[in-house]
Every structure is written in structure tokens, then in C-alpha cells.
Amino acid sequence: MAFKVGLLGLGTVGTGTADILLNPSQRHPLLKELEIHRVGVRSLDKARTVNLPPELLTTDLESIVTDPEVDIVVEVIGGLEPARSLILQAIAHGKHVVTANKAVIARYNDEIFTAATDAGVYVLIEAAVAGGIPVIEPLKQSLCANRLQTITGIVNGTTNYILSRMQSEGSDFNAVLADAQQLGYAEADPTADVDGFDAADKIAILASLAFGGRIKLEEVHREGIRQITAADITYADKLGFVIKLLATAKRDNPTFDEALNSDQLQVRVHPTLVPKDHPLASINGVFNAVLIEGDPVGQVMFFGPGAGSGPTASAVVSDILNIAAILKVERGSAVQANGKPLLDPLLACSHQHYCTIAPIEELETRFYARVLAEDSPGVIGRLGTCFGQHNVSLESVVQIGLRDNRAEIVVITHHVREGNFRQALQEIKAVDAIADIPSTLRVL
Amino acid sequence: MAFKVGLLGLGTVGTGTADILLNPSQRHPLLKELEIHRVGVRSLDKARTVNLPPELLTTDLESIVTDPEVDIVVEVIGGLEPARSLILQAIAHGKHVVTANKAVIARYNDEIFTAATDAGVYVLIEAAVAGGIPVIEPLKQSLCANRLQTITGIVNGTTNYILSRMQSEGSDFNAVLADAQQLGYAEADPTADVDGFDAADKIAILASLAFGGRIKLEEVHREGIRQITAADITYADKLGFVIKLLATAKRDNPTFDEALNSDQLQVRVHPTLVPKDHPLASINGVFNAVLIEGDPVGQVMFFGPGAGSGPTASAVVSDILNIAAILKVERGSAVQANGKPLLDPLLACSHQHYCTIAPIEELETRFYARVLAEDSPGVIGRLGTCFGQHNVSLESVVQIGLRDNRAEIVVITHHVREGNFRQALQEIKAVDAIADIPSTLRVL
């Protein structure tokens, strides 16, 4: 008996997916029990690199998600609509769903997973985060015994490519972005990548899995990399750091009191100074990496290609196979109160509540600030005093050189409360001898 | 309804396992449905750091694997016997098994997995390779759509610790080994680690999973690190390499012909010169890492703690939870011909045949050789000629310096057949002007 796949979309990822399904040799034998039943496309006439019988193709995507013969719907059309509606319709018709759509999952996880649980179907999303790197399933299964503490990821290849080139070439952001666009590493409208929206979607999904609660995307603090200058990268380098766009999700209170249910998370995306000996510092180019810290496992890191047809299709088809394996052994003889199959508690989404996310002012972290000031005695003293008055203790204050006749001073703080640091900056900006504070960045 | 765990062994890993089972707070909710039913120990009187009711403890391990109430047997006593017999007895009594025992799995996988399939029970082994790093389950599930090509791992923490210290301190093997033994990073009898037996067990297990066939352990080529000298590490460093003990499993024929079923593997453990910009080069100390290459995923790497109570227990308990999740939804309503439950084809071991392993002479790789010769004109020419006569083409020949009045020459070859290289060496050793070839190493 073959399991029938309805494929929505035949773009980059859809083509990669079909490629694997049509070439099972030397792969897991279960692949031979999968069959592409229908493929939904925008145009029937387009030339395709994948060799599919033309009668499988249709422009009527709804007919696929409602087709009684389809067991598993694979959504790889991307974008919010009609992807969201098609996923919900597929679930309503009792189909299992595999999707690579981080934007839909980050925004509509509530309605999608509630519907999936009610219907007794799986919605698997390995391809939605970090492309081909196994991270969703390891979080759900291989690390499920841990009390997870922190997830820190380089989850956007475009920004990592831009920052890596700025680092190696000493170039400015706009020049590298323009080149990346020409080379196809950045979109014509690069907003989703360079302003951190894509990374925010992904860390929201990872946080939800790691900490067992839903995440309101608008509560994820998000900063992009447009403001990063060659000067900052040079100074960071001198101080022993590289600058990376990190997506972080962290439990705020290691001393959790279950009775108080005092769990509070930080979920944030921002450029960060990463010490050069940190495992994430050497992740360059379009590669992604996700570092997970848990008790008792310690630190584990997953590294690999975060995008692209092949890697993303690897994740999509692995999810399809995982569902086929479940169907094969007829898992689900146990039923819920509504008569629908009971889902595997590790693979299904079991949480209902929203996580509490701490405001960014409450974050305790180290900071880097670049300050332009009059080149006169006493300026460093004034800086130190202002920071001190706001409980911001400093690790180092270094005058790097002169720029436009001003002294360029780089400050690194100890771990301080972000709110205090921002208040100190306000006050410092008002000091006559201070010309400008062109950049402030967080330090890992 | 609680799932009852019978724990065999309360040493380092057993204690870590019990610790997690007794502290489910902030971990996956399914953990609360697990119950430690019995614990098998060698002595009832020993002081324990974990707080277990004394009536759970027994020295009669057989009574645990035959106890009708036990659902899942966890074997963490280590060693070959009685571990193997207890695992087989547990399977015969219909128990699912979780084990961290790489030695037993590498040697007895045939009888254990055949028995498990017949009985319709799972034997999960995440903890057997690379401690807390998820690698077994990702291979089985997250990467199952791939045509896997190569697995390259640093899977023994002791040897990686020794080589890292030799690298950073310029020390010799024996001095670092003695210190590692004092610090508890190496055993009093270090044979299993430093001679590569432990790494061979692990790569045999990974190869079996990746390539879907059984591996005869005696066919795994194995060399340890005792012969590595400070001089080799220094010269490797100058040439842009670090020396690592790599465990490698590789499909020999990328142009696979299914009709011929011509699959042939290389499975080998040996010290290797790794280019400094390779992802495995920066894995230092007791950490482990496994790099997997597949089509279409490309390269993915998993990094983390390869041993220790906490990390290993993380893997053990995750396996327990994966079995509990299956029991929870009563997977297995589909049955085999013998009436026993049909197992999930991704989680169970489905292969029966043995893989063909290529003899080491057929390996094509680069080599490093350190040669001591008379400091006279024409020696490098003689070397080049001898290698050339055996089809060994050279990438570089560098006279590094003088040692004991002899010229010390370091040769790096292109990719050549190992058999040819060895024949050339035999001939070179017979040349009068050549005093010695103290080391030859493979180059990644």
C-alpha cells in the first residue's frame, strides 16, 4: 500500500521534494511506499526540471487538500495566503500536513495546532527553521528529557553572508548587500532578512517548542543589521569579537518555582558581538547554526545549510517519511474524547498557553557602545560617572582613535540591565562634550 | 497510567538517569508518566547521591528483566556480560530496551535487533554514540530522506582531549596521557580509548544506521594515537592542519548501480590531518562532533558533550520518553505475521544483510609522511621518483629542518591509493640515503 502525497507548490523546494520522491534508490526503503498523487502549481505551461506526468499537475490547489485519496499534504508555496487556508482545509479533511512555511507557523500556530490536535493529524515543520539542519525533531525527541535553558541561533543565511563578507573584506553594509542581491543571496526587497523578520519567525517557533508554550510574534524583540558599520566590525575584531545576527530564546529564571509558575522568557533577534572562541563565531557565509543549552545535556550545536532547494527538501521529505512510518504501524488506535486519534505527545503540539515574554528593558546583558566625543581630558571620566550613576558597571573604556577630529571611544559594559543602560545613554547624549553615539550593540 | 522503568545499573549514567526521572519539573510533561519500578545494583549498601526508596533496589537483575510489570528496561551497567544476556532476556519478555552500551550494540547488533524485531519491541541506543549529542535519532528520522555519503566523527573525548593538549602545549603523548589519567579524563588502562577501540564501536554503529546494513566490527580498520609525536603535530600545524582521531564511514561508489548492488563502504578509525578551516578542526577538548554528508542535504554537523553523567542520561531518558510516547498512543495495532506488533520502520532496525567493507589498501586518500634522510643533494629527487613509480603523485615535499644530523622531510601526497603508497614506502625504506620514516598519517 502506497501513501499518497499531495504537493502544493513546485518552486525551488517543491522541485527538490519531488526529486527525492522520484529517486528513492539508496535512501530509506520506506520512500518506495510514497507516491506523488497530485501537484498544485500556478501555471500548467511552465517548463519544469523535474519529470512528472503532466496529468498529476493541477492549478486547483483546493482540490488537492480535499481529495479523499491524499494522506499527506505538503505545503511549499510559501507566503501567508492561500498557504494558511489550504493548511487549515487539509487538516479539516483529516490530512497530515508537512510545511516549510515559517511565516505561517510563527503567526498562526495557535489555530493550526489546535485544529490539528482536534482532527488527530500531524503538522510537521522541520523545514521551517534552519533548512536541512535537523533541529525541530531533535528538540521534540532527542532532547526532550532536558530542562531547556537557552537557544541561540544564526538562522538567517542572508544576513550571515553579508556580515561574514563585511568582516572578511572590511566593506560597508550597502556595498555588500548590493553585491549579495546581484549574486542571488539577497532578495530585491531584503527587508524580511536584513531587518530580522525571518529570524524572528524562526526563533518564535524554536522558543515555542523548547519552552512548551505559544509565542506572540509581536512580543519578539527584533533589530536588523542595517546599522552595522565597517567601523563597528573593525573595533569588535580588535576587542576579540565578531558581529553576528543572533536569534535568542532564553528562560529568564533558572531558579524556577513551580508553585509560582514564574516562567518568563526572553525572545529576541539582534546583532550581537560574539567572542571569537564561541562556537557560533566561526559560522560564516550562508550557513546556519543553532546552539541549545539544557540541563543536563549542556551545550549542543547543530550546523549546516539553512536554505536552498536540496537541504530544505531533505527536511520536507524526512517529515513526510516520519508521518508515513506512523501510518504504516497504524499508530492511533488510542483515541481522544472526540473519537479522533490520540497524537504522539512528543510529535504533536500539546501546549495551549502563551509564554510570558520579558520586556527588553529587563534584559541583563553586556553592551558595546561607540561614542564620539571632544578630544579633551575628563571625557572618559564623565562617561564612567554617568554609567555608574545608572548602575552600569564598565568592563573597558578604550579610546580607539580620532574620527572627524573627535575622539572615538569604545565602551564594553559588564552584565547590566538594558533599561539602566538606555537611561545612562540618554543622559550621556546630553553632555556637551559628547558629539554622538553612532552605535550600541549587545555582547554575548 | 504510568509507564514502568526497570533500571539496570546505578553508576554514573544510571544515577544521572534516575535524577532526571525523579525531577520532571520544567521538562516534557510526559516525564511525569514515567515511574522507576526497580533498580538493579551490585551492592545494596553503597551510599548513593540519588534519593531512591531502598525497596526499589535489588541485586537480582534478572528479576527486573523478567518482571511482568516493567515496560521499559534501561541497561546502563556497561561491559559485554551480563549486559548482553540481560538485554536479550528483556526482549524475550516483551520489554522495550534503552541502552548506552556501544560495546554490546557494535558486537551483538545482529542477534539483538533480530530478537527485537521478532518480539515487536524497540531497542533505542541514542546514548551509545556521542553521549548527549543527538545523532542516532537524527540519522534515523530527520535525515532519512537523504542518500547518505559520509559520516566523519570525533567520537572519543579522551583522545580528542589528549590531542588538543598536545596541540596547544607542544607536549608528547605519554606526558599528556599521564596527566589525563590523573585528572580522570583517561582510564588507568587507556587501551579502549587511545587505541581506537571505542571509536571503532561507535563508527560501526553509525555506519550501520547510515547505510542500512550490518557491520562486522573486525572489518573496521583501526589505528590509535600512541604513535603521534609532538613533531608531527608541529609540522601539521605549519602546513595548516591539526591532527584528530577521526572515525569515518563512507560509501565508496558515488555512482551506485542499483542493478549491480555494488555498494561498498569504507569504515575506519585513524589519526588524520584535518585542514584548519574544516568544521571538525576546531572541536577541542573532550567534546565530540559528527559531520554527516548526504544528498541532497549537503553537510550537517552535530557538536556537544560526548560523555559524562548528565549528557549521557539526557540521551537515555529521551529514548525512554520516545518509547513512552509510542506506548501512549498504542502504536502497534498493525501486526507482523507472527502476531507481534509491527515496528516503526524508521525507529526499528530493518536491515538483515552485512555491508561489504573495502580493504584499507583500496582507500584513496592523501597522505602525510615524515622522512629522515641523509642531508645530501638528490634525496628529494629519489623520494619523488620512488613515489612516482608507484603512481603516488605528490602535493608537496618540504625539508623542515635537521634532526640528529639527518634532514627531516615532510611529504604530502595527492589523493592516491593506499596500497600504492605503502608499496612506495617499502621501496623508499630500502634506499640507503633514507634513515627512517617515523610517521605516516592520512590527510582529510
A215 and A115, same domain (yes or no): no
**Has residue A351 been placed in a domain?**
no
In this prediction, residues A335-363 reach a mean pLDDT of 85
Q: Are A305 and B299 an interchain contact pair (Cβ–Cβ within 8 Å)?
A: yes
Question: From the CA of A351, how many Å to the nearest CA of chain B?
Answer: 10
Asked whether residue B257 carries a pLDDT value surpassing 80, the answer given is no
pLDDT for A1-35, tens place per residue?
A: 699 999 999 999 999 999 999 999 889 999 999 99
**Has residue B253 been placed in a domain?**
yes
User: What is the band of A393 on the pLDDT scale with cuts at 50, 70, 90?
Assistant: very high
Asked whether residue B258 carries a pLDDT value surpassing 70, the answer given is no
pLDDT for B338-372, tens place per residue?
A: 888 888 888 888 777 888 999 999 999 999 999 99
B273 and B313, same domain (yes or no): no
Asked whether residue A405 carries a pLDDT value surpassing 90, the answer given is no
B299 and B324, same domain (yes or no): no
Asked whether residue A329 carries a pLDDT value surpassing 90, the answer given is no
User: What is the band of A257 on the pLDDT scale with cuts at 50, 70, 90?
Assistant: low
Give the pLDDT of residue B229. 96
Of A28, A325, A346, the CB nearest to B322: A346
Mean predicted lDDT score pLDDT of chain A: 93
Q: Are A296 and B313 an interchain contact pair (Cβ–Cβ within 8 Å)?
A: yes
Give the pLDDT of residue B262. 54
**Has residue A339 been placed in a domain?**
no
Asked whether residue A67 carries a pLDDT value surpassing 70, the answer given is yes
A277 and A323, same domain (yes or no): no
Q: Looking at chain B, which residue has its C-alpha nearest residue A254?
A: B26
Asked whether residue B278 carries a pLDDT value surpassing 90, the answer given is yes
In this prediction, residues A411-437 reach a mean pLDDT of 94
Domains identified in chain B, total number: 3
Asked whether residue A303 carries a pLDDT value surpassing 80, the answer given is yes
Give the pLDDT of residue A85. 98
Secondary structure of chain A as H, E, C letters: CCEEEEEECCCHHHHHHHHHHHCCCCCCHHHHHEEEEEEECCCCCCCCCCCCCHHHEECCHHHHHCCCCCCEEEECCCCCCCHHHHHHHHHHCCCEEEECCHHHHHHHHHHHHHHHHHHCCCEECHHHCCCCCCCHHHHHHHCCCCEEEEEEEECCHHHHHHHHHHHHHCCCHHHHHHHHHHHCCCCCCCHHHHCCHHHHHHHHHHHHHHHCCECCHHHCEECCCCCCCHHHHHHHHHCCEEEEEEEEEEECCCCCCCCCCCCCEEEEEEEEEEECCCHHHHCCCCEEEEEEEEECCEEEEEEEECCCHHHHHHHHHHHHHHHHHHHHCCCCCCECCCCCECCCCCCCCCCCCECCECCHHHCEEEEEEEEEECCCCCHHHHHHHHHHHCCCCEEEEEEEEEECCEEEEEEEECCEEHHHHHHHHHHHHCCCCEEEEEEEEEEC
Question: From the CA of B181, how many Å to the nearest CA of chain A?
Answer: 23
**Has residue B346 been placed in a domain?**
no
In this structure, what C-alpha cell is assigned to residue A357? 515574554
B238 and B217, same domain (yes or no): yes
Question: From the CA of B215, how many Å to the nearest CA of chain A?
Answer: 17
Asked whether residue A262 carries a pLDDT value surpassing 70, the answer given is no
A120 and A154, same domain (yes or no): no
Q: Which residues contact A229 (CB under 8 A, 6 or more apart)?
A: A172, A173, A438, A439
A291 and A188, same domain (yes or no): yes
In this structure, what C-alpha cell is assigned to residue A278? 564561541
**Has residue A355 been placed in a domain?**
no
Most A CBs within 10 A among B22, B33, B141, hence the mutation to make, goes to B141
Q: Are B27 and A303 an interchain contact pair (Cβ–Cβ within 8 Å)?
A: no
Contacts of B144 in chain A (CB under 8 A): 27-28, 30, 318, 321-322
Give the pLDDT of residue A416. 96
Asked whether residue B170 carries a pLDDT value surpassing 80, the answer given is yes
Please confirm, yes or no, whether B32 is among the known catalytic residues.
no
A285 and A232, same domain (yes or no): yes
Asked whether residue B234 carries a pLDDT value surpassing 80, the answer given is yes
Asked whether residue A256 carries a pLDDT value surpassing 90, the answer given is no
Asked whether residue A265 carries a pLDDT value surpassing 90, the answer given is yes
Task: Considering only residues A18 and A335, tell me which one the structure prediction assigns the higher pLDDT.
Answer: A18
B76 and B185, same domain (yes or no): no
In this prediction, residues B369-398 reach a mean pLDDT of 92
Task: Considering only residues B203 and B264, tell me which one the structure prediction assigns the higher pLDDT.
Answer: B203
A114 and A127, same domain (yes or no): yes
Q: Looking at chain A, which residue has its C-alpha nearest residue B293?
A: A304
Give the pLDDT of residue B254. 54
Asked whether residue A259 carries a pLDDT value surpassing 60, the answer given is no
Asked whether residue A331 carries a pLDDT value surpassing 60, the answer given is no
**Has residue A390 been placed in a domain?**
yes
Range of the domain at A392: 361-443
Q: Are A332 and B334 an interchain contact pair (Cβ–Cβ within 8 Å)?
A: no
**Has residue A249 been placed in a domain?**
yes
Give the pLDDT of residue A343. 84
Of A138, A279, A334, the CB nearest to B137: A138
User: What is the band of A254 on the pLDDT scale with cuts at 50, 70, 90?
Assistant: low
**Has residue B347 been placed in a domain?**
no
B212 and B321, same domain (yes or no): no
A97 and A155, same domain (yes or no): no
pLDDT for B64-108, tens place per residue?
A: 999 999 999 999 999 999 999 999 999 999 999 999 999 999 999
Q: What is the CATH number for A426? A: 3.30.70.260
pLDDT for B282-325, tens place per residue?
A: 999 999 999 999 999 999 999 999 999 999 999 999 999 999 99
Which of A18-32, A216-230, A392-406, B189-203 has the least mean pLDDT? A392-406
Asked whether residue A261 carries a pLDDT value surpassing 70, the answer given is no
Q: What is the CATH number for A235? A: 3.30.360.10
Q: Are B345 and A29 an interchain contact pair (Cβ–Cβ within 8 Å)?
A: yes
Q: Are A325 and B305 an interchain contact pair (Cβ–Cβ within 8 Å)?
A: no
Q: Are B329 and A314 an interchain contact pair (Cβ–Cβ within 8 Å)?
A: no
Of A142, A317, A328, the CB nearest to B138: A142
- Cβ-contact B73, B6 below 8 angstroms: yes
Give the pLDDT of residue B338. 83
